[in-house]
Amino acid sequence: MPELPEVETVARGLARVWEGRRFASVVTRRAGLRLPFPPHFAQRLTGRTIERVGRRAKYLVVRLDGGLVLLGHLGMSGRMVISGLKNTPPGPHDHVEFVTDDGVVVTLTDPRRFGLMILCDAAEVEAHPLLAGIGPEPLEAGFDAQVLAGALAGKATPIKSALLDQKVVAGLGNIYVCESLFRARISPLRPARDVTRDEIGLLVGCVKDVLTEAIAAGGSSLRDHVRPDGELGYFQHGFKVYGREGEPCPDCAGAPACGGIRRIAQAGRSTFYCAERQR
């Protein structure tokens, strides 16, 4: 599932090919994804110039001339694929095709169809029901120890689950929460309210570092972004704990001090951590 760095990478990749261009045609191949496409979706986009492509939490925010905004979410499995040629037949999961005036084709491919594409007015973006109530952007200055401490105060839920709450902080998902807690040496099992102010300060820095490094890794994957299979948003970068159950812990000396990376379930999601290093 794409998290903040993946969506940021998609936004930056789309910005390169879309900003300043005009949608020459938009084709939808089904009635919708998680939600139906808005009425006249394709017609309302066609002919518009793309002014800016950005991101809020895990949403793509595409600003068009005339004050129209395309809000997109990639759901569980959505991908935006850039290609230079229009004439390849669409695959079964290619649901929307965007063609700009220079002939570049961007296809939204989403096998599980949990993604969404909606339209709204520029003045309504922040207050839109999908975005209203979402917490601070973790890479912005407004996300600091004081803000996070305020959001965690009194919460009995484990810190792992609290950080997944989009009202606490925007855009974090399972992968980057596990990685951030590992770096900050905080057990994912600790009640959020028991994490000390000093630890929260450390955690904020770790969240920012983990995300910044992942975005940098995604950015390096963008170099070849225009090619027949130019897929955006998924890239190789090293996770220290995520998906590494049973592997040696990268920061401990190993057995018997540390039994390696453990996987437990919290609120139905896998948590990966080191029980020795994270207390």
Of 42 and 252, nearer to Zn ion (C-beta) is: 252
Site residue total, Zn ion (CB under 5 A): 6
Q: Find the shortest distance in angstroms from Cβ 249 to Zn ion.
A: 3
Interface residue with Zn ion, options 248, 258, 263, 269 (CB under 5 A): 258
Residue pair 104/84 in contact (Cβ under 8 Å)? The answer is yes
Q: Find the shortest distance in angstroms from Cβ 255 to Zn ion.
A: 10
- Residues 193-232 as x/- pattern, contact with Zn ion by CB under 5 A: ----------------------------------------
Q: Find the shortest distance in angstroms from Cβ 240 to Zn ion.
A: 10
To 10 degrees, the CA torsion angle through 232, 233, 234, 237?
120
| Cα gap 88→75, rounded to integer Å | 25
| Contact call for residue 274 and Zn ion (CB under 5 A) | yes
Stretch that binds Zn ion, among 86-94, 170-178, 219-227, 256-264 (CB under 5 A): 256-264
Of 210 and 232, nearer to Zn ion (C-beta) is: 210
Count of H helices and E strands in the chain?
6, 11
Stretch that binds Zn ion, among 107-115, 178-186, 206-214, 269-277 (CB under 5 A): 269-277
Q: Find the shortest distance in angstroms from Cβ 3 to Zn ion.
A: 24
Of 59 and 272, nearer to Zn ion (C-beta) is: 272
| Contact call for residue 277 and Zn ion (CB under 5 A) | yes
- Residues 73-112 as x/- pattern, contact with Zn ion by CB under 5 A: ----------------------------------------
| Cα gap 5→217, rounded to integer Å | 9
Stretch (H or E) spanning 185? none
User: Residue 75: left (phi > 0), alpha (psi -120 to 50), or beta?
Assistant: left
Quote the tokens at residue 202: 């450390």
Which residues sit opposite 94 in a β-bridge? 109
Contacts of 252 (CB under 8 A, 6+ apart): 258, 274, 276, 277
Of 108 and 249, nearer to Zn ion (C-beta) is: 249
| Cα gap 244→262, rounded to integer Å | 8
Count Cα neighbours of 236 within 13 Å in the Cβ-side half-sphere. Answer: 0
Contacts of 227 (CB under 8 A, 6+ apart): 82, 83, 84
Find how far residue 86's CA is from the centre of its chain. 28
| Contact call for residue 252 and Zn ion (CB under 5 A) | yes
Stretch that binds Zn ion, among 63-71, 113-121, 123-131, 254-262 (CB under 5 A): 254-262
Q: Find the shortest distance in angstroms from Cβ 147 to Zn ion.
A: 30
Stretch that binds Zn ion, among 2-10, 88-96, 166-174, 247-255 (CB under 5 A): 247-255
Show which residues are catalytic.
Answer: 2-3, 58, 269
What residue ranges bind Zn ion (CB under 5 A)?
249, 252, 258, 274, 276-277
